Amino acid sequence: MKKKEKYLKIKQIRSKIGANWKAKRTLEALGLRKIGHVVIKRDTPQIRGMINRVKHLIEVEEVEKEE
Kindly report, residue by residue over 26-50, the tens digit of the pLDDT: 999 999 999 999 999 999 999 999 9
Domain boundaries, given as residue ranges, for the chain: 4-66
**pLDDT of res. 64:** 86
CA 19 to each of CA 32, 33, 41: distance values in angstroms, whole numbers, following the listed order? 14, 14, 23
Taking 90 as the threshold, does the pLDDT of residue 66 lie above it? no
17-32 pLDDT tens trace? 999 999 999 999 999 9
**CATH label, 4-66, candidates 3.30.750.24, 3.30.1390.20, 3.40.50.620, 3.40.190.170:** 3.30.1390.20
